[in-house]
A and B are shown apart, each in its own frame.
Chain A
Amino acid sequence: DAGITQSPRHKVTETGTPVTLRCHQTENHRYMYWYRQDPGHGLRLIHYSYGVKDTDKGEVSDGYSVSRSKTEDFLLTLESATSSQTSVYFCATQGALTDTQYFGPGTRLTVL
């Protein structure tokens, strides 16, 4: 597995507050992804990055922004959290020469 950590692992916040989730990898993988997991929907892509400062939207990007200033870190920001963003968030990475995404342990976010 790629060395992928996510922080925090659990967070409870209130509607309207900003939230930032961090994904850190030690494998020097080029590609990084943020997915959310909701019951009945499997995992859906929020944003992805194909290099430092290079990011693009996924299928459920509304209300989220991302940044990647270093190869090893990919940040997901909820500018103003809403209850619909209560979910489990997974980060994944993929090397340029591999075809497999490996996932971090997940962050459980609850927006009250």
Chain B
Amino acid sequence: AQKVTQAQTEISVVEKEDVTLDCVYETRDTTYYLFWYKQPPSGELVFLIRRNSFDEQNEISGRYSWNFQKSTSSFNFTITASQVVDSAVYFCARVNNNAGNMLTFGGGTRLMVKP
């Protein structure tokens, strides 16, 4: 199976610190999509970003930024100046093109931002 690995199971930071969540994936596909989802304590899954493997430009959205490195099969997520509301579990995922576009998820990283 082509895995997605989020090696950090839990990260704890103090508010205003920057934090990077790591994601490494395996794929045999030439083209593919990668995703990040956020799961706050309320439990829903919130879509954050989709990245096409053709596009290696880094993306920034407010305090969030994503670093896609195809050469190292990594898709890392950085939160700048973290806030308590960023506390959540964050999942990285990859589309499996050969199985109905199912998503293969990493195990998730629990981020705790303390005031």
Contacts and interface: CB of A to CB of B under 8 A. Distances in A.
Nearest to A43: B105
B46 to A, nearest CB: 8
B44 A105 contact: yes
Given A33-B100, A58-B99, A59-B102, 20 more contacts: A31-B101, A33-B102, A40-B107, A41-B107, A42-B4, A43-B93, A44-B105, A45-B102, A45-B103, A48-B99, A48-B102, A59-B1, A88-B43, A99-B50, A99-B95, A99-B101, A102-B47, A103-B37, A105-B44, A106-B43
B64 interface: no
Given A42-B91, A42-B106, A31 B47 contact: no
A100 B44 contact: no
A71 interface: no
Interface of A: 1, 31, 33, 35, 40-45, 48, 50, 56, 58-59, 88, 90, 92, 94, 99-103, 105-106
Contacts of B99: 45, 48, 56, 58
A59 B1 CA distance: 10
A44 B42 CA distance: 20
Contacts of B100: 31, 33, 48, 50, 56
B103 A101 contact: yes
A103 B106 contact: no
* A-B CB proximity, top 7 nearest: A42-B105, A103-B45, A45-B102, A48-B100, A43-B105, A42-B107, A100-B50
Interface string B71-115: 000000000000000000001010100011111011110000000
Contacts of A48: 99-100, 102
Contacts of A106: 43-45
